[in-house]
């Protein structure tokens, strides 16, 4: 006697056809393409307002600045330059711009490698299992990042004043015979700015390195020790390759920040003596607001900074991001 087939047929007839899905709470069958379209529209409804805000706040001012860089005149009385690239041509003839650009690159070349090296050393020390009071040391080293830029610049200005704490301590310990005008000489003034940058930003980069070190696979380090590698070889050949992405990130961020540096130059030395400690961003501010306002030329300077940052970031990506 054969089994009845009616229930099987009923189940087959009740199953949704391929390419459809039953809508929750109803027996109506909705095509999968409609569900995918609905999900896509929901996603775009969240993305479009944020994207529009980013375009309005970031990219639209950049486009306005580009048009502004093609104009000349004082204050709001601007006309289109003849030729349009007149402001960019002026950059190559401006001695103050060349001086501020070279000064900025001095800060970049000296400060960034030293800062990243110190940050890496501190991160390895704070990641050591034998170190006690790790929370205290991490907080103490990172704390300068929480200090306002203007505040710490003014503190450093007082410390390195002619009658400041630095001279008093150095004379007391017999390292100096007389007070030094730290902020009144080009070499020492630049050194004070670099010291301020190191004090302010080393802890910031150290946090990135420390987070990366804590995510390294411990089995790779143990394998290196089993193979007989000492501490330095383990760090150089095992740890460093795994830190390359974060080192590249910190290098790009530090380069970008140094090329746009303003507070230290403005508050510590006011660009002196003789504009020899002034950064490009400080010069841009003077052209825009301190001297007779020339917004067109200032916009050209801002685009010069943008181009330099983009070129250096591309070089760092090309050199540092070598994937196997």
**How far is the C-alpha of 301 from the C-alpha of 87, rounded, in Å?**
9
Phi, then psi, of 22 in degrees rounded to 5: -70, 135
Residue 160: the pLDDT is 93
H-helix segments, the chain: 6-14, 32-54, 60-68, 86-91, 95-126, 134-142, 149-159, 165-172, 186-214, 218-226, 231-234, 240-259, 263-264, 280-285, 295-320
pLDDT given at position 219:
83
DSSP sequence for 104-169? HHHHHHHHHHHHHHHHHHHHHHHT-TT-S-HHHHHHHHHGGGGS-HHHHHHHHHHHTSTTSHHHHH
Answer for the pair 52, 60: CB distance below 8 angstroms, yes or no: no
Residues 60-100: tens digit of each pLDDT: 888 988 999 999 888 778 889 888 899 999 999 999 999 99
State residue 79 phi and psi, 5-degree precision: -135, 160
CA neighbor of 216 nearest in space, from 316, 125, 127, 310: 127
Neighbours of 152 (CB within 10 A): 19
Q: Would you write out the chain's pLDDT as a tens digit for each of its 324 residues?
A: 444 554 444 444 455 555 555 545 555 555 657 778 888 888 888 889 888 998 888 888 889 889 999 998 887 788 898 888 999 999 999 999 999 999 999 999 999 999 999 999 999 999 888 888 888 888 899 999 888 888 888 899 999 999 889 999 999 998 888 899 999 999 999 999 999 999 999 999 999 999 999 888 888 888 888 888 887 888 888 888 888 889 999 999 999 999 999 988 999 999 988 899 999 999 999 998 887 788 999 999 999 999 999 999 888 888 776 654
Q: Which residues contact 191 (CB under 8 A, 6 or more apart)?
A: 182
pTM score of the predicted model:
0.80
Note the pLDDT of residue 32: 59
CB distance 229 to 238 below 8 Å: yes
Predicted pLDDT of residue 22:
52
Question: What are the chain's domains?
Answer: 29-80 (no CATH), 95-320 (1.10.3720.10)
Handedness of CA 200, 202, 208, 211 (dihedral sign): negative
**What is the tens place of the pLDDT at every residue in 126-154?**
988 888 888 888 889 999 988 888 888 88
């Amino acid at each position: 006697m054969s089994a009845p087939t009616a229930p099987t047929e009923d189940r087959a007839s009740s199953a949704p056809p391929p390419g459809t899905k039953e809508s929750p709470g109803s027996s109506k069958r909705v095509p999968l393409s409609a569900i995918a379209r609905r999900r896509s529209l929901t996603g775009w409804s969240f993305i479009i307002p944020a994207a529009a805000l980013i375009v309005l706040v970031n990219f639209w001012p950049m486009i306005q600045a580009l048009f502004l860089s093609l104009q000349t005149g004082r204050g709001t009385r601007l006309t289109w330059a003849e030729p349009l690239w007149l402001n960019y041509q002026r950059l190559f003839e401006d001695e103050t711009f060349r001086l501020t650009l070279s000064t900025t690159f001095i800060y970049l070349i000296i400060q960034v490698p030293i800062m990243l090296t110190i940050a890496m050393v501190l991160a390895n020390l704070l990641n050591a299992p034998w170190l006690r009071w790790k929370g205290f040391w991490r907080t103490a080293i990172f704390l300068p990042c929480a200090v306002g830029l203007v505040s710490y610049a003014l503190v450093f200005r007082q410390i390195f004043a002619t009658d400041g704490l630095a001279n008093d301590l150095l004379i007391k310990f017999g390292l100096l015979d007389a007070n030094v005008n730290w902020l009144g000489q080009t070499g020492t003034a630049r050194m004070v700015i670099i010291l301020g940058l190191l004090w302010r930003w080393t802890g910031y980069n150290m946090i990135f390195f420390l987070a990366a070190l804590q995510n390294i696979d411990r089995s790779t380090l143990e394998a290196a020790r089993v193979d007989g590698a000492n501490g330095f070889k383990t760090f150089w050949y095992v740890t460093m390759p795994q830190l390359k992405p974060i080192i590249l990130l910190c290098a790009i961020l530090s380069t970008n920040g140094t090329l746009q540096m303003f507070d230290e130059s403005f508050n510590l030395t006011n660009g002196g003596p003789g504009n020899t400690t002034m950064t490009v961003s400080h010069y841009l501010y003077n052209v825009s607001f301190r001297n007779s306002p020339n917004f067109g030329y200032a916009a050209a300077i801002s685009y010069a900074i943008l181009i330099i940052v983009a070129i250096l970031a591309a070089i760092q990506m090309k050199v540092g991001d070598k994937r196997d």
